[in-house]
Chain A
Amino acid sequence: MNLLDIRNLSIELIHDEENILAVDKVSLSMKEGEVRGLVGESGSGKSLLAQAIVAVLDDKWHVHADRFHWRGIDLLRLSMPERKAILSRDVAMIFQEPMACLDPTTTVGEQLAEAIDESQLSGFFWQKQQQRRSAVIKLLHKVGIKKHSECIKSYPHQLTEALCQRVMIAIALARQPILLIADEPTAAMETTNQGQVFRLLASLNQLKNMAILLISHDLENITHWTNTITVMYSGQFVEAGTTEQIFNKAMHPYTQALVDSSPMANLHLPAKSRLMTLPGSIPILQHLPIGCRLGPRCPRAQQDCVKAPSVSSFHGHKVSCHFPLLQNPKLQKASRA
């Protein structure tokens, strides 16, 4: 059974004259214990999608979906408080720039203690203080912070960025979530620290069978850590498949361009040769092209591209394009028919 199953989720920004469709019919499904990457450049709506999943968007945004199931429960039928109760129990989220997200005026220990639920503590009220403290220390040990007594006493600005991110992860782990959404957990971080955070997430995934939705703007950064990847562009679904499929047999011209433009992936390229790029830049929300939003930049664009393509699936490799890049001639025929 799928852990999370979303079909055709759209997010609209309510505006005086005209509503802006920021996320247009994106589907996302996650299995238990899976690490899925969600890749898209800035303005592709990946953070919006994550915020819609945990239901923290305010009234300005209008979210609707054809299907929104969480472990078999249809969340769309539930009222907002019920939905939030389920999501806050099972889903946790960590944000980019950990230092800015932690409260600068209270110590790390207090913030951690706040996240621990009353129901996790047993015993009488005079024992609870002690239990809470030991739970905080246990959480810190879980994320690999050994000097717990110093860490509890310090304020966020006294810790390094990677340590802050570990504290954020510890807060997220407090309620033992089944799904962890990591929104660019390593943006603006040193490479050595990036490795540490990714390794921690990978070990949590393996030891606790916790599913992780890893959001990033850079394909090459996360391919090492993910099982499956979903690619988005400018609010539209582009392609989803296993990491292998996306990286080695990309079907969408945009994914292919992302892979080609990464110097890390093209080690056979001679040094200082020109990299493959798409012309132009990402469209802004006020001036979105109709149909497939990649249209004006796409090297394979044809007349049909003014209509939004539907999603077609090839052995679990989903792609949303009228003219996908298919290596197998048999599939090519099938897609035309």
Chain B
Amino acid sequence: MTELLKVQGLTKSYSDKGSWLNKSRTTVLDSISFTIEAHKTLAVIGETGSGKSTLARLLVGAEPASSGSIFLNGQELKSGSYKHRCQHIRMIFQDSGTTLNPSLTIKQLLDEPLKLNTSLDEKKRTELIRKTLQKVGLLGDHMNFYPHMFSGGQKQRISLARAIILQPQVIILDEALASLDPSLRSQMINLLLDLQQQMGLAYILISHNLGIIRHFSDEIMVLSLGKVIESGKTLEIMTKPQHKITQKLMMDQSFQLRAKKLKK
């Protein structure tokens, strides 16, 4: 299979405040390179401040990268070409409740990306919104509701609808599953897996929950202080973590411990 998204030497650094004589720079991400294929999921793990969220922000273009390049289907994404990028790379945030504008109906919310990125007329847009809402397990009539009328799990589904309405190829999930209740979370995981199969989506999953990562992802990338310290197939890294920090992360969730306890 061909590569869908290819990242080469992605670096992000900020210049520190301070006197203009001794300007120093802090590197948040240090030449990250990876590739993803369609239908695959890449999980990114790491401690706080390891640069996971910065990586997500760079990929969607919320911040310009200091150096390095991102290729989508072999085509380079420059920091100016947001129109092309936001059609193909979409993001879902951790707190779905606060990322939806409370003063707009669901229809208006989902209409916005369509108005900006497509040349469909109003009738076709409404039809597409209806279809997308049904795809994520809501009703078409929900489009006239306001965000506060939905529960937490449904709001997360609306964020997902907003992400997939432009038929993207890559979706970035930045802790999107962390704040959900367990029964809703497994519903959401099933929905994401279904959509991956139907639409051939590639996911970049940023998460702490190793159980979800084991279940959901094909590959893992472990970040620490902006550097990739370990990457490879999920099962290999989960069973035989090589690097010290990876081992610590696995131990912290008492992952192996619990597995043993259950076997008894």
Contact = CB atoms under 8 A, between A and B. Distances in A.
B182 A261 contact: yes
B258 A41 contact: no
Contacts of B48: 190
Contacts of A6: none
B62 interface: no
Interface stretch (A22-30, A150-158, A276-284, A323-331): A276-284
Interface string B96-113: 000000000000000000
Nearest to B150: A281
A258 B262 contact: no
A78 B216 CA distance: 54
B120 interface: no
A39 to B, nearest CB: 9
A104 interface: no
A61 to B, nearest CB: 23
Contacts of B58: none
B152 to A, nearest CB: 7
A224 interface: yes
Contact of B249 (A191, A265, A277): A191
Interface in B179-207: 179, 181-187, 189-190, 193-194
A186 to B, nearest CB: 11
A278 B152 CA distance: 16
Nearest to A265: B262
Nearest to A195: B252
A258 B152 contact: no
B193 A277 contact: no
B1 interface: no
Interface string A203-226: 000000000000001111001100
B252 A264 contact: no
Contacts of B209: 263-264
Interface in B229-261: 234-235, 248-249, 252-255, 257-259, 261
Contacts, number: 98
Residue among B211, B216, B249, B255 facing the most chain A CB atoms (10 A cut-off): B211
B153 interface: yes
Interface stretch (A81-89, A266-274, A313-321): A266-274
B47 interface: yes
Contacts of A219: 182
A269 B208 CA distance: 20
Given A195-B252, A217-B182, A263 B215 contact: yes
A282 B181 contact: yes
Nearest to A41: B181
Given A190-B48, A267-B259, A277 B190 contact: yes
A192 B193 contact: no
B79 interface: no
B252 A192 contact: yes
B57 interface: no
B210 interface: yes
A257 interface: yes
Contacts of B255: 264
B208 A275 contact: no
B193 A267 contact: no
Contacts of B248: 192
Contacts of A247: 262
B210 A275 contact: no
B256 to A, nearest CB: 10
B214 A281 contact: no
Given A192-B252, A262-B211, A272-B193, A217 B47 contact: no
B190 A274 contact: yes
B22 interface: no
A278 B183 CA distance: 7
Contacts of A274: 190, 193-194
B154 interface: yes
A325 B189 CA distance: 26
B32 interface: no
Given A191-B253, A257-B183, A272 B262 contact: no
A261 B185 contact: yes
Given A42-B152, A190-B47, A192-B47, A262 B182 contact: yes
A275 B189 contact: yes
Contacts of A284: 151
Nearest to B179: A188
B257 A272 contact: no
B194 to A, nearest CB: 8
B214 A282 contact: no
Interface in B30-87: 47-48
A44 to B, nearest CB: 9
Contacts of B210: 264
B215 to A, nearest CB: 4
Nearest to A284: B151
Interface string A183-209: 000001011101100000000000000
Q: Lowest 4 A-B CB distances belong to which pairs? A: A264-B211, A261-B186, A263-B215, A41-B181
16 contacts: A41-B181, A42-B181, A190-B48, A224-B257, A248-B262, A257-B183, A258-B183, A262-B211, A263-B212, A271-B214, A271-B218, A271-B235, A274-B190, A274-B193, A275-B186, A275-B190
